Structure 1
Amino acid sequence: MSIFNALVHKKGANQAVQDSGFFFFTGSNVLEVELRKSVEIMLGASQIRADFICEFPARALWISKRFQNTDTVDFSHCEALEYYLKAVDTNSISIVYASENLVSPSSFMGHSFLKLNSGQGREHAVSYFTDVDTINIPKLLFDSIVTGKQGHFVVSPYLESKRFYGQVEARNIYEYHLNLSDFEVKLLTLHLWELKERRIDYYFHSHNCATITLDILGIIEPNIIQSHTAWLTPLDVVKIVNNSQFVSHSTITPSLNWQLRTYGLQLSNMQKKTYFQQLIKGNLQKLEHTKKDELFVSRYLAALNRYLLKELKISKIVWQKNQAYIDDSFYENKGLEIDVGSFKNPLNRLGDSQASFSFHANSTQSYLLVNAIPASHLVSDDNRHAFSESSLELISPTVIITKDEVKLDEFTLYGISQYIPYDPIIGGVSGYFSLAYSGFDSSRFTTESKALAVGGLGVSMQPMPAFQYYGTIGTAVVTDIKRAWFETKLEAGLIAYLKGNNKLNLSAMWRFNKNNLHQSNMEIEFQNTYSIDAVQAILFGAKYTNWSQAKSKVSLFTGYKIYF
């Protein structure tokens, strides 16, 4: 793909910017005509040339460089453009990744955007997003995937975005600083001006914040632009950009919640409560800790002190007193830093799409399950570099293949779960919710047709970094068109990371009124996921049920999974 293709956001026959005015000449999206006439205008001298420069300054600059061997274009007659350039005063550009927030539907896969850095200390965020104006998940997905939603392209002070993502939504903010020449910085800055007030439709799967970020960077390196059919996520963007050698260095601004959980990993709940009470009273005392833990303790105390101030539990005077004590007590560590570059690093996370193939067998039947998740991951996956153990399934079909037929086993429209370890200071709620359709009952090995809305809440505990257990209670609203009923579910489980890249998931579930039969039953399931590398894994496990309707009590399975 050529640079001019990237400048007009043309991908084959697909036009990513729907605004007809984005093509200067009669709204034509014929690329060859647009390029030829643009070059002709720039090589001449007319009022049309002056208008073209003001409206499409990046194209004007690129044409001057490509065909006139000069990287200087006079913008002095473009009053609004000159004001914009002086306001942003860009001398470098970064990509920002705000980590996922599973509570917010618009941010459960994270958010990526460009950041303009000024030598004067001014910083601006360049964001592309859509409004989430409904809690109706099916409608939101339909609008975002089928019809498209209105996209907003905004340049705003970066500090506002940083405060919102870091303080309000408690998300980690990763900045990847790009190694660009002065010409490239200027070209990108001018191209952002070209996109203002344009109609750019938002599609969750094919044209989102991740897509447009890569498309914009594509005017520097067209090879990083992905196909318009690719399902691209913000996490994909930072991985692609880092693999392209664009990044000179990176920085992280961790949220207070992240700091409290991370720096407090080695502290007991009793120690945390003691620190909490002493900071509240402004009366920190010398506490027992090893020399090795001093740095982590000092960072934990500083983060907890800021948290209490933010939550208005202490006054600024008390905060200052506490901080002075922390600085004096840990004076030897004042100049030291903790390298968190390899801890929960988004670059080390698995791909946001996956497919699996698993063979199941019991005393009466054997079958193959094929599952696809375009986005994003499961609790059974390796989530050590995610904020917490969680799952997210969007438009995820599972097909069952028997010796006689192929059936749709299940279709998950939207499924989410999150197991945040409870902390005595900042709390932590675990739970799940899903909207799904079931077309086959593998326990009775018979076709069915049910729609389900399932939700539950609970608590999770993490006594050590590699081990976590949880308990939830939930309910499901189920219908098979002819009738509707409620089911209840009580679940207990554990999640453990074992040696050799193995992850164990074990759960015990008590369910009442399955299939509206007014019976209770128990299911126990374990699964081990062995990660071969970053793109593939092997699965095996077993499932037991005492349900009277089940054709077999015990089934075994093994499978293979790929991430991409």
Structure 2
Amino acid sequence: MRAICLFILFLFLFPAVSFAENTLLSVALEKKIYKKPEWKALLHYNGHGSFINDTDFILSSDKFSLKRELEKTVNLILSTANSTNPAVCSFPARWLFILKETGMDVDAGINRCTGLNNFIQLLEGEKLYLGYVSKDVTDVTKMMGHLFIEFEGKEDYAVSFLALIDSSSPLKLGWDSLFTGIDAGFFLEPFNTQLDEYLWVDGRGVWRYRLKLSDYRQKLLLYHIYELKSAKLKYNYVFYNCATVVYYLLSVANPSLLKEKPLIVTPLKVVRLAEKERLLSDEEFFQDVKSVMGTLQREVGLKTVLKIKDGNYQNLDARGRFLAEIYRCYRLKEKDINDEVCETVFKKFLTKSSLLNAPFENHISAGFIEDFDGEKFLHLKFFPVLNDILDDNRYNFKEESVKFGEMEIGVSTKKLRFYKLGLYEINAFREFTYLVPQITKRFFIGFKRYPDGSSGFFAFSVSGGAGLSLKPMENATVYFLLNQDAGFYEDGFFALFYPSAGAIYYPFSYGKTLFSLNRYFSFRKSLNFPEVEFSINQVFFLNRHLNVDFEFNRLYGKECANRFKVAAVFLF
């Protein structure tokens, strides 16, 4: 009798499920919702496939298409609607989108998704934020900056997409992050804990923006994070990083973003796109503690700084007491000791700095150069990311730069002269103070032209340097470095050692001046290398997209020579 009842129940239920499946799918296909930008964003579509290779996430991976993925998603979700583990629990964002676009209400068992419901209870709240963390050019995993999503509810949580690094080898890490990919996933952490790490330990500033989303869009974004949480994801430094993932998350919430996907997605570009689409409001900036202490040390003077260094906090004025409080907390953080006072002390130091004042990351320059040998060229330079030391870097309270794929050439009617083919270059002028001693670093790998004789020589080079940077005032940096270059050119191996001194100064709001003096010691006597090189750059910031750079170089040695360059620099 029981078997007969079950059979009759099956006869009634099966047509209902089949009817719902056919009706929902036919409406979805008729409306062609698979062509919608939201659907493409949910699949992390890159124009020909998905960035995600997990076959449990991309159901049509054997023969991918947007339409087939929609068909397989609907069929799978409805065929498991009455099971104890409905497939809708793995694809809640897709299902929410499908129901919204078709205007239908079909029960697929989403109320039985315990994990999803717990996730929603933990993160769902009234406010949603986009967070940007400034770059650390000395760390390959942090040199592009970082993006995260913050959920403000009963408690504040930050959700980040991060690579799962299991190797200490820089070469393996570089290879995997560029070519094979690194296993990655989403990490959930209390916002204040994450902020604490960035400001106190990493020395990185944080910007936060309120995201202006409807309830439906906010829910769709939350659901999509949940369904990505279980997917097998691979981190690629250039094409699929934290910025790429957040870009797709925001595109789910605002489909217009998908129409403007840049070739290389960086955290700063995502913030600019979100601002352009009016997704952002209420910018808030948290300055990193190391630069805060640097500013305060200049304000209170050396005598007060030495007292604080010795632990003597008596007879200090208000700024001195504040510096002492921050320094005490900084030392506790170094020892991984928590103190309630330290959790909020940095918020007493409020600084206004807009991330949108950061220089644009794509650079093209064109101008005129008269080289050391008197040859004159049309000068062209290009690099796709990220920033130059000649840029206006005041927004971040640090002088630093990182460049990938830089090309610099001179063109005349008679010849083509290569000046630089840079693979990777960094400059990090970190302020050295009594309370927080930091090391200034520079590194370059690639091809560049060296002065030697008349026209110089073009060589593959690996170079680096380390030293100290001081800030006698807020808008000036003075540095002293010891540098080593080594490489190969057409006559063989060469090596150089040279100390250098220089200064970076903002004499006015729309300009920047750079001086440098290098004393060269060559380990290859056959090279006619100069003894001393002096250079000066004067940059004028005409607007956010255009700079003008004047450069003068003077060589001293057996022969003296000058080089002059003027160029317009376009940033976009």
Give TM class, smaller chain: 0.7 to 0.9
| Aligned ranges 1:398-437 → 2 under 5 Å | 398-437=408-447
Say which one has the larger Rg.
2
Q: Secondary structure at the match of 1:416?
A: strand
Cα deviation, residue 384, structure 1: 0.9
Aligned to 2:553: 543
Q: Percentage identity across aligned positions?
A: 19
| Aligned ranges 1:90-129 → 2 under 5 Å | 90-117=125-152, 119-129=153-163
Cα deviation, residue 560, structure 1: 0.8
Which of 540, 549, 562 in structure 2 is aligned with 1:554?
A: 562
Greater displacement, 420-429 / 22-31: 22-31
> What are the ranges of 5 or more consecutive residues in structure 1 without an aligned counterpart?
288-293, 324-333
Aligned to 2:571: 563
Quick one: distance in 2 between partners of 1:47 and 1:206? 39
Greater displacement, 81-90 / 527-536: 81-90
Contact 1:90/1:189, CA 8 A, preserved across alignment: no
Contact 1:370/1:399, CA 8 A, preserved across alignment: yes
Aligned to 2:5: none
Whichever residue aligns with residue 378 of structure 1, its letter is D
Cα deviation, residue 153, structure 1: 1.7
CA RMSD after TM alignment: 3.3
Cα deviation, residue 520, structure 1: 5.5
Quick one: distance in 2 between partners of 1:226 and 1:263? 45
Relative to structure 1, is the Cα distance of residues 239 and 132 closer, same or farther in structure 2, using a 3 angstrom cutoff?
Answer: farther
Quick one: distance in 2 between partners of 1:389 and 1:203? 27
**Higher helix residue share:** 2
Is 1:187 the counterpart of 2:220? The answer is yes
Relative to structure 1, is the Cα distance of residues 125 and 265 closer, same or farther in structure 2, using a 3 angstrom cutoff?
Answer: farther
Greater displacement, 521-530 / 552-561: 552-561
Contact 1:61/1:71, CA 8 A, preserved across alignment: no
Is 1:521 the counterpart of 2:551? The answer is no
Greater displacement, 211-220 / 224-233: 224-233
Q: Secondary structure at the match of 1:504?
A: strand
Quick one: distance in 2 between partners of 1:300 and 1:471? 27
Cα deviation, residue 494, structure 1: 1.3
Aligned to 2:20: none
Quick one: distance in 1 between partners of 2:261 and 2:283? 28
Aligned to 2:70: 35
Q: Secondary structure at the match of 2:396?
A: coil
Greater displacement, 398-407 / 182-191: 398-407
Aligned to 1:242: 275
| Aligned ranges 1:70-469 → 2 under 5 Å | 74-117=109-152, 119-129=153-163, 131=165, 133-136=167-170, 140-145=173-178, 147-159=179-191, 160-225=193-258, 230-277=263-310, 280-281=311-312, 283-287=313-317, 294=318, 296-297=319-320, 299-311=322-334, 339-342=350-353, 345-362=354-371, 364-438=374-448, 440-441=449-450, 444=453, 446=455, 448-469=457-478
Aligned to 1:2: 37
Relative to structure 1, is the Cα distance of residues 493 and 303 closer, same or farther in structure 2, using a 3 angstrom cutoff?
Answer: same
Quick one: distance in 2 between partners of 1:351 and 1:80? 41
Cα deviation, residue 115, structure 1: 2.2
Q: TM-score, normalised by structure 1?
A: 0.84
Cα deviation, residue 113, structure 1: 1.6
Cα deviation, residue 11, structure 1: 3.4
Cα deviation, residue 442, structure 1: 6.0
Quick one: distance in 2 between partners of 1:263 and 1:69? 61
Relative to structure 1, is the Cα distance of residues 132 and 385 closer, same or farther in structure 2, using a 3 angstrom cutoff?
Answer: farther
Quick one: distance in 2 between partners of 1:43 and 1:373? 50
Cα deviation, residue 338, structure 1: 5.4
Whichever residue aligns with residue 8 of structure 1, its letter is L
Relative to structure 1, is the Cα distance of residues 337 and 427 closer, same or farther in structure 2, using a 3 angstrom cutoff?
Answer: closer
Contact 2:77/2:108, CA 8 A, preserved across alignment: no
Quick one: distance in 2 between partners of 1:74 and 1:247? 35
Greater displacement, 79-88 / 351-360: 79-88
Contact 1:487/1:516, CA 8 A, preserved across alignment: no
Quick one: distance in 1 between partners of 2:73 and 2:468? 62
Whichever residue aligns with residue 239 of structure 2, its letter is S
Quick one: distance in 1 between partners of 2:531 and 2:364? 30
Aligned to 1:480: 489
Contact 1:350/1:563, CA 8 A, preserved across alignment: yes
Aligned to 1:470: 479
Cα deviation, residue 204, structure 1: 2.1
Relative to structure 1, is the Cα distance of residues 25 and 461 closer, same or farther in structure 2, using a 3 angstrom cutoff?
Answer: closer
Cα deviation, residue 50, structure 1: 7.5
Contact 1:106/1:132, CA 8 A, preserved across alignment: no
Aligned to 1:327: none
Relative to structure 1, is the Cα distance of residues 72 and 501 closer, same or farther in structure 2, using a 3 angstrom cutoff?
Answer: farther
Cα deviation, residue 66, structure 1: 1.9
Relative to structure 1, is the Cα distance of residues 513 and 205 closer, same or farther in structure 2, using a 3 angstrom cutoff?
Answer: same
Cα deviation digits, residues 403-450 of structure 1 (max 9, x gap): 322243322112111112221211222221211223x55654557452
Quick one: distance in 2 between partners of 1:26 and 1:469? 56
Relative to structure 1, is the Cα distance of residues 79 and 265 closer, same or farther in structure 2, using a 3 angstrom cutoff?
Answer: same
Q: Secondary structure at the match of 1:509?
A: strand
Quick one: distance in 2 between partners of 1:488 and 1:526? 21
Cα deviation, residue 78, structure 1: 2.3
Which of 43, 48, 58 in structure 1 is aligned with 2:93?
A: 58
Aligned to 1:331: none
Cα deviation, residue 71, structure 1: 11
Quick one: distance in 2 between partners of 1:245 and 1:512? 55
Contact 2:358/2:395, CA 8 A, preserved across alignment: yes
Length, aligned pairs only: 531
Is 1:508 the counterpart of 2:517? The answer is yes
Whichever residue aligns with residue 154 of structure 2, its letter is Q
Contact 1:521/1:545, CA 8 A, preserved across alignment: yes
Cα deviation digits, residues 451-497 of structure 1 (max 9, x gap): 21111112122111122221111112222376324211111111111
Contact 1:421/1:461, CA 8 A, preserved across alignment: yes
Greater displacement, 296-305 / 148-157: 296-305
Cα deviation, residue 378, structure 1: 2.1
Aligned to 1:326: none
